[in-house]
Structure 1
Amino acid sequence: MTHKYLGAILGSAMAIAALPSVAQELPKTMIWSSYDVGSAGYAEASAIADAFGKQFGTRIRIQPSGSSIGRLQPLLKGRADYAFLATEAFFLSDGVHDFAIPDWGPGELRAIAGRPAGFDLIAAGDAGIENVEDARGKRIAFVAGNPSINVKCEAVLAFGGLTLDDVEVITFPTYASAMSSMTRNESDATCTSPTTSQLYELAESPRGIHYPRLDPDNKAGWESMQKMLPIMGPSEEDVAAGLKEGDTIQMAAYRYPIIATTKDKSADEVYAFIKALDESYDLYKNGTATMERWALEKSGHSPVDVPFHEGAIRYLKEKGIWTEEDAAWNKKRAERLDALVAAWAEFKPLHVDLSEDDYVKAWMEKQREVVASLILQ
């Protein structure tokens, strides 16, 4: 072999070595879990799955479930690749509500992206609730067995310096009955998304509708809310029942759906997923009235229910979306999750002989102690 050809081969090899590694492609098939058929979560997962199929040829099967455990188990047992979740992601990570029992405890989920969803204390127009603090002594509709709604409502009340002892909580058996209770004059306010169907009926009723403003500059209010529920943040909503075109409302937002996976999911796989989510955006952004909020400039920021996955962070950094504030939030959120996982590992073997009710009670005391110590740091 002549020196001329040897030099050409070595030069080609060096050029190849200098190129960036080829990004991992999406799998040919995937399984996602989501809320039940008919929910916003299912509709949005379906629209994104369809876009993935058209642009990348990936076939996706969605497993819908009406329960949080039904959405989480396939993911945690390796039968699903990703899950489109709601606040159960936060509840699992904190080991509370359904996940405070011995078989569960704090779980290691990681976020990829989460669509902002508005949330507020929403009042009947004639109830005299101009601001959140005006809800003192008023009838507030809660939903039986629905901690996702009720815990957020407690957090919004905290924004106004109120606790459940300051209001009259009226519990309704179903979500629909609670949301329509204001129109029937059985309550004065409730907490939910501003696009809930029953609110349009309230807006057209003689009582009317009012959204107490959550001022984004009210530092004390937001600190009180986020101490109770760190997944909430300020939001400006332009789609809401009774809202005139062109008007906006300042309220809170959480993330629904949040796309989550397990902590040990390959960073390269997650990077490929969020890249596909970004690159196929134009194919699904009009799938529903709120799907434009999946743009990573909106869905790729904190706060969210669980820490972001390292693969997602890598892509968000490359796109110039990830900020120093996001990094600081993510570090603090991971520390909270790590502390609770460690506390559970220490707590569980010492309490195996307790009944389930006593176990849950003891764990919740420990959980609150751990969270309180982190807030004070």
Structure 2
Amino acid sequence: MIRILALALVALSATIASAEAEDAKLPATLTFTAYDTGSSGFNIAVAVGKAFKQRHGSDLRVLPAGNDVARLAPVKAGRAQVAANGTGTYFAQEGVFEFGLRDWGPQRLRQLLHSNDCNGAALGVAKDTGVTELKGLRGKRVGMVVGSPALNQNALGMLAFGGLSAADVKLVEFASYGAMWKGVLNNEADAAFASTLSAQPREVDSSPRGLVWMRTPHGDKAGWARLRKVSPFISPHMVTCGSAGLSPQAPAEMAGFPYPIFMAYDRLPTDLAYAITRSMIADYDLYKDGAPGAAGLEVKRQKLDWVVPFHDGAIKALKEAGVWTAEVQKHNDALVARQDRLTKAWAEHLESNPPDDREAFRKAWLARRKQTLQQAGLDVVFE
């Protein structure tokens, strides 16, 4: 009798969850942007879209884009509602790198959900180079993507772990993430940054060149201090899945951060942000096995105290899921306040008749940004 009652309660809970997801009322069509076709972010977005179609009859169009600017531009312009983005989300919020120029500035971005799975984030190196440690990349060719500070800064952070800088390697620029990994495949570069689950590195791994993922041993405190000075959003992570031999039986001490980050602007209507987030939570079982890394979107795996705030609509859904706390709300409020200060500083910068020259404009903005954050007692991070 007890077993029958328990099963009945489980069935009732599933029915309620399904009904709540239906009540989320997704629109007939949605548009997301993501990394290139074949990337783990793109594949996960497609898996989510299939669940939306199955459960809600909502068509999700996923637009692939090779760099951070290309992914965010349609969302900024209102042609897409959400980006399945990477750490470029953080750079855009901070108004640095490509986002420190006149057409951008600090962006008021908000998270909906992000993935934290068994995969890691690392520099993949062609095995035929003979390199087995990050410090061994001195003099090697490292791929960079034009307009993608997320990939580039992450790569530089990994080099810093090995005691190297951009001056110690040969930087090779490519037009997109996919083109960069094709460059490794075609022996135009020796190393590139990626998620260990991404399809492009897997192609290199199965090629004559082969692939080795660079480790970042968690006990190397000096290496981690150097890495986090360049990329403060990266944390130690035990990686158990991906190409080049990574598995639960062969775990590796590497690095990680939320990816993909399903994000929108703060102006996305609260009810729509809620509907998307609530549906992603409720429809989890429909897409969690649909792409490598999709399981990391599980609500209990959310890193709620990361460096970019959550949307009010997402917070409503996370509260309903029972994971949002007063402590997390305080952290989120502080992140929003940081965005408020950066937005105000940017407006003042534009009103100050800044120089037209691209580099002079960027330097003047960074100086104002630094002053604003220091006056508020906040970390500058990028100077």
- Structure 2 distance, partners of 1:217, 1:320, is 34
User: Does the 8 Å contact 1:231/1:303 carry over to 2?
Assistant: no
Which residue in 2 is equivalent to 1:276? 279
Q: Are positions 1:142 and 2:139 aligned together?
A: no
Which residue is 2:263 aligned to? 260
Please give the per-residue CA displacement for 1:28-62, whole angstroms capped at 9, x wherever unaligned: 434223137734444433332231232234x2342
Show CA shifts across 1:119-177 (max 9, x none): 11233446564443444x34141225143321111122233443223x22231445556
Give 1:62's aligned residue.
Answer: 61
Question: Given that residues 89 and 305 in structure 1 are in contact (C-alpha distance below 8 angstroms), is that contact kept between their aligned partners in structure 2?
Answer: no
For 1:34-183, list aligned pairs within 5 A.
34-35=33-34, 38-40=37-39, 41-57=41-57, 59-62=58-61, 64=63, 66=65, 68-116=68-116, 118-125=120-127, 127=129, 129-135=131-137, 137-145=138-146, 146-165=148-167, 167-174=168-175, 175=177, 178-179=180-181
8 Å CA contact 1:124–1:207 kept in 2: the answer is yes
AA partner of residue 195 (structure 2):
S
- Taking a change above 3 Å as real, the CA distance of residues 274 and 132 of structure 1, as seen in their structure-2 partners, is same
CA contact (8 A) 2:53 2:60 kept: no
Deviation string, structure 1 residues 331-365 (Cα, Å, up to 9, x no partner): 55444433322221221111345334432332234
Q: What's 2:344 paired with?
A: 342
| Match status 1:247 vs 2:246 | no
SS of 1:374's equivalent in the other structure is coil
Residue matched to 2:7: none
Counterpart code for 1:56: H
Counterpart of 2:102 in 1: which secondary structure?
coil
**SS where residue 256 of structure 1 aligns?**
coil
Unaligned runs of 5+ in 1: 1-21
TM-score by length of 1: 0.76
Residue 328 and residue 219 in structure 1: after superposition, are their counterparts in 2 closer, same or farther (change >3 A)?
A: farther
- Please report how far the alpha carbon of residue 26 of structure 1 lies from its aligned counterpart in structure 2 after TM superposition: 2.0
Amino acid at match of 1:121: L
Structure 1 Cα separation of the partners of residues 238 and 158 of structure 2: 15
Summarize deviations over 1:179-229 as a string: whole Å, max 9, x none: 366666665543222244554465456765433322345555444433433
What SS does the corresponding residue of 1:107 show, helix, strand or coil?
coil
Gaps of 5+ in 2: 1-19
For 1:62, the aligned partner's letter is R
Q: Secondary structure at the match of 1:33?
A: strand
3-state SS of the aligned residue for 2:101? Answer: coil
Q: TM-score, normalised by structure 2?
A: 0.75
Correspondence 1:375 to 2:379: yes
RMSD: 3.6
Task: Report which of the two structures shows the higher radius of gyration computed on alpha carbons.
Answer: 1
